[in-house]
Amino acid sequence: MTQMAGKACIVTGASSGIGTATAQGLARKGAKLGIVGRDGARLEAVAQECRDLGSPDVRTYKADFASLDEVRGLADSLLEDFPVIDVLVNNAALVKQHRTETVDGYETVFAVNHLAPYLLTRLLLDRLVDSGPSRIVNVASDAHTFGAMEPDDYMSTKAFKPMKVYGRSKLANILFTFELARRLEHTGVVANCLHPGFVSTGLARDNKAAGVFLKVARFFPGVKSPADGAATTLALACDPVHVRGEYFANGKVHRTKDYARDPAMAARLWDDSAALVGLD
């Protein structure tokens, strides 16, 4: 999929950070874009930047992933506007300093970082299959190494440690990708996930302590810019890829913890997630 001119690409979390850089990178390649974010004004600014960079068509979609109804509405709009979807980049994510719940009654980090992209992907899946060859790229994180999944406490009711909860949500992204790729094996859809590296972004906008750290961290050696952080995402979206269900870092397949490749846990998470979002 090296020829991206006219390809339809959806990018979530596109109003800042790695999401913006991903949208800009796709625009430079001439892709048509559907960019999603919860900051409408910023989203419109990014859309104009992408048009200036060469995208022939950029559409914006304001949606808060803390509401599953908004995710459903987003899917409806995307299906109406895009008869073909070539690439779906699930990038939106956050970190919370304290435990909160969404309007659906779910712990916010797990809901936004996992349940929302799971639901969006499921709702767009038939279109992606019909559009094949197509790509699904899930932005995960090396934070998955912080601990194994706790399937009896997805909502972190027993204890809430911000980075551990974030890490479990990113582990869920990897397990979801693993199971998704298995289910799509005989289709033209290739699903992979990645660790973007340590990037100073607005990820921690809902966690003041982490937000201050990330702002300072941008001056540390080895910390990536959003553009550098988006490089692997863009490679998985655009370049020839001969594997599926893998976890990448720095453009290469990267080893995960064994629990991130547990087929039984991946299958259970798929089924549990379906029940939580109201799908079969």
Beta bridge partners of 60: 35
Identify whether the C-beta of residue 73 lies closer than 8 Å to the C-beta of residue 63. Answer: yes
Q: Can you read off the two tokens belonging to residue 4?
A: 């991206």
Reply yes or no on whether 166 is catalytic: yes
Could you give the strand order of the β-sheet that contains 134-139, starting from the edge strand earlier in sequence? 58-62, 32-37, 8-11, 87-90, 134-139, 189-195, 247-249, 252-253
Beta bridge partners of 249: 195, 252
Q: Between the CA atoms of 142, 144, 145 and 146, what dihedral angle is there, to the nearest 10 degrees? A: 120
List the catalytic residue out of 61, 118, 154, 166.
166
Q: Any residues with CB less than 8 A from the CB of 52 and at least 6 apart, and which? A: none
Q: How far apart are alpha carbons 50 and 60 in whole angstroms?
A: 11
Identify whether the C-beta of residue 101 lies closer than 8 Å to the C-beta of residue 107. Answer: yes
Distance of CA 83 to the CA centre of its chain: 21
Q: Can you read off the two tokens belonging to residue 74?
A: 């987003």
Beta bridge partners of 118: none
* Catalytic sites, residue numbers: 166
